[in-house]
Amino acid sequence: MYRILKSKIENKTAKIGIVGLGYVGLPLAVAFAEEGFEVFGIDTGSRKVRSIRKGESYIIDVPSEKVERLVSSGLLNATDDYRVARKLDAIVICVPTPLGKTREPDISFIVSAIAGIIRNRRKGQLYVLESTTYPGTTEEILLPKFEEGNHKIDRDFLLAFSPERVDPSNRIYTTNNIPKVVGGVTKDSTLSRSFCTAR
């Protein structure tokens, strides 16, 4: 599984999914598409999906001309339907985690995204959590959920965490060149290092 996925990433035939098309997810989707990957953005916000399909950006750091070009080329797609996950090789979760009353991240959007993915997953996928959250979320929340139904890490899927490093309007460090920290849950899951830097 590791070798097959690694090969797809290296030759850019891997199909990429970005869950959450906000100020982190949309620039990330555009960056992967600009590198030649076929990207599918998934967002439950129908307004965002419609905007992208029309080639219109709602993020200040992403010009509409760029979105329109990538949509027209077929490299950038948007949907609110998680069924597209069935044909993806790697899925990055970039949903919001607003602070609650106790000043801790609300991970309900992460949990919802995981549920959507699990309903439509297939073996051989890489999952990367990029949403801002507290330590332990990947191993304590995501791993048990993805292992439900006799699925096993390394055998059926890979899992990693790579915290978002977005600084809106920064012209020096952008999504394409900002240093990334990536932590795989297992040795094979560190494959995500090459994936996260493929853009």
Mean pLDDT for the stretch of residues 55-75: 96
State the DSSP H helix or E strand holding residue 31, giving kind and residue range, or none if neither.
helix 25-34
Residue 61 — pLDDT band, cuts 50, 70, 90? Answer: confident
Q: In degrees to the nearest 10, what's the CA dihedral of 150, 123, 95, 55?
A: -160
Mean pLDDT for the stretch of residues 28-44: 96
Q: Which two tokens stand for residue 55?
A: 């080639």
Whether the per-residue pLDDT at 37 is higher than 90: the answer is yes
Domain 2-196, CATH class in plain words: alpha beta
Which of 39-48, 65-74, 120-129, 174-183 shows the lowest per-residue confidence on average (mean pLDDT)? 174-183
Q: Would you list the domain boundaries of the chain?
A: 2-196
Whether the per-residue pLDDT at 199 is higher than 60: the answer is no
Query: At CA 7, angle to CA 77 and CA 10, rounded to 5?
Result: 65
Cβ neighbours of residue 142 under 8 Å, at least 6 residues apart?
Answer: 110, 114, 127, 129, 159
Whether the per-residue pLDDT at 169 is higher than 70: the answer is no
Closest Cα partner for 15 from 42, 43, 36, 38?
Answer: 38
